[in-house]
Structure 1
Amino acid sequence: MADATLGFSGVSVGYHGSPVLTDIELNVHAGQRLTLVGPNGAGKSTLIRSVLGLVPVLHGSATVLGRPPAQARSVTGYVPQTGSLDAAFPVSARQVVMMGRYRRIGWWRPARAADRAAVREALERVGLADKAQRQFGVLSGGQRQRVLLARAIAAEPRLLLLDEPFNGVDAVSQEAILRVLHDLSAAGTTVVLSTHDLAVAREFSDLVCLLNGRQWALGTPAEALTASALRRAYGGHAVDVDDGRTVLVEP
């Protein structure tokens, strides 16, 4: 586990000494794609925030790129849910992406040619180079999410975390995001995303972590997304397995 991008052993995380998630065991390596799956309130966002060092580890051992989580934040990219941002803030798509370079630029220093080039390349990768000067808030939900992905890419992270990146996102943007994530992982970036979409989890992931207050399963999609594991994690909701696809029918 020493060379793992994410190494969590017997980990519980939570707030004010009260665990939100327990029994977390992760061993994720460079270039792997891990998807966190579980119902609303399962702890997916809490786990992502613990990887960023924003939620304390109450028990167990947690390392990110061989360091305590907070110490790896400078080489970790984060794409939040778009609903957590103020779309009315008067800033262009290009300016949002440039924020991903701030750690490299430093406070009160002008952007260099290399920073501007990184921003252009990031916008090109997500298919929004032509929207660079548009105000962030007037873009569609899917376009805003792609801008946030470009911001993370511009930082050149070794680990990329995405919290429900497909909520409110159109099919074109979802396809564009998934294509970029595949390219990043092929180049060695470890990608961790949370989603409610079991089809995405099956098709995208090298590993799936099934959560709901604890870790219920971890493995390949075929190993983790079984009918029995999903019934346990989702509290006994009906599960139907059809042609190899698992579908949850929630009340």
Structure 2
Amino acid sequence: MAEPPSAGPVPAQRHASQPAALRIEAAGFGYRGTTVLRDVELTVGEGQTLALVGPNGAGKSTLIKSVTGLADLVTGSVTVLGRALPKARGLAAYVPQAETLDPDFPVSAADVVLMGRYRRIGWWRPTGRADRDAALAALDRVGLADRARTRFGLLSGGQRQRVLVARAIAAEARLLLLDEPLNGVDATSQERILSALGELTATGTAVVISTHDLAVAARIADQVCVLNGRQWAAGAPREVLTPEVLREAYGNHAVDLPDGRTMLVET
């Protein structure tokens, strides 16, 4: 396997006295009591990035959604910043795989990002100058400060995804959950999103990101977790993203190439 590119900014110094951003122990996740993902054991520290990889239907989205309350913790335990579910829900900022916001709704990019502040100030309170400044700063991080007043629906698909990442950044949460944020975005948007995530982890924010792109996982993650109905492997990218592990976890989705590389095929 090729040498992973540089992971970007050096993460902020960890403090042992602080609780893990996310701790998952002997956990199973699913819907309405039915387990679709089991045997998960993970710890994500301050300033760390965890990449979740696996074929379609592996349980990546289910794991992320369980932390937000959109899926069920069936067995085991999950804590966010030292607080157990369900009381921990709301402590993490979330970027969903499919946004439900109607692109025809007449709101600007800045308006969408301001929605990320409601977790801090409450839906019933008006946003203030500090909130608007935070929204503009978040847009600047994803390279869209000049589009703050542009209607959300008029932005390209990649730009809309960057706005949604900015919305999560504006929440100023210490744990950021992103469900396939790079799916279908252009190269510029991908690099802007990854750069923004690198800046966040450098200041201590923990990131959990699901992705089908193993090169991205190797590039940005401190840990990679391979899922397919259960946890197959977790650890440093070089230890986990091996042909042996991928062949076992992906099954007939993995094809060995003549040059020794492993190509993953979604069917």
Cα 1:205–1:182 shift into 2, 3 Å = same
Cross-structure match for 2:36: 20
Report the aligned-residue RMSD. Answer: 2.0
Give the conservation status (yes or no) of the 8 Å contact 1:96–1:147.
yes
Asked if residue 37 in structure 1 is aligned to residue 53 in structure 2, the reply is yes
Structure 2 CA distance for aligned equivalents of residues 170 and 126 of structure 1: 13
Q: Report 1:1-251 matches (<5 A).
A: 3-82=19-98, 84-240=100-256, 246-250=262-266
Cα 1:179–1:246 shift into 2, 3 Å = farther
Amino acid at match of 2:235: G
TM-superposed deviation, 1:247: 2.8
Give the conservation status (yes or no) of the 8 Å contact 2:26–2:77.
yes
Which one has the bigger helix percentage? 1
- Output one character per residue of 1:98-133: Cα deviation in whole Å (capped at 9) or x when no partner: 101112222332211111111111111111111111
Amino acid at match of 2:207: V
TM-superposed deviation, 1:250: 4.7
- Output one character per residue of 1:180-200: Cα deviation in whole Å (capped at 9) or x when no partner: 101100100000000101110
TM-superposed deviation, 1:241: 6.6
TM-superposed deviation, 1:19: 0.3
Structure 2 residues without counterparts, runs of 5 or longer? 1-15
Give the conservation status (yes or no) of the 8 Å contact 2:135–2:170.
yes
Q: Which stretch shifts more, 71-80 or 148-157?
A: 71-80
TM-score w.r.t. length of structure 2: 0.88
Structure 1 residues without counterparts, runs of 5 or longer? none
Q: Which stretch shifts more, 211-220 or 84-93?
A: 84-93
- Output one character per residue of 1:138-170: Cα deviation in whole Å (capped at 9) or x when no partner: 101110011001111111010000000011100
Counterpart secondary structure, 2:71: coil
TM-superposed deviation, 1:173: 0.5
Structure 1 CA distance for aligned equivalents of residues 162 and 151 of structure 2: 14
Structure 2 CA distance for aligned equivalents of residues 241 and 65 of structure 1: 43
Cα 1:245–1:127 shift into 2, 3 Å = farther
Cα 1:134–1:248 shift into 2, 3 Å = same
Give the conservation status (yes or no) of the 8 Å contact 2:68–2:90.
no
TM-superposed deviation, 1:236: 3.1
Amino acid at match of 1:76: A
Structure 1 CA distance for aligned equivalents of residues 64 and 73 of structure 2: 12
Structure 2 CA distance for aligned equivalents of residues 59 and 175 of structure 1: 37
Cα 1:23–1:109 shift into 2, 3 Å = same
Structure 2 CA distance for aligned equivalents of residues 239 and 94 of structure 1: 44
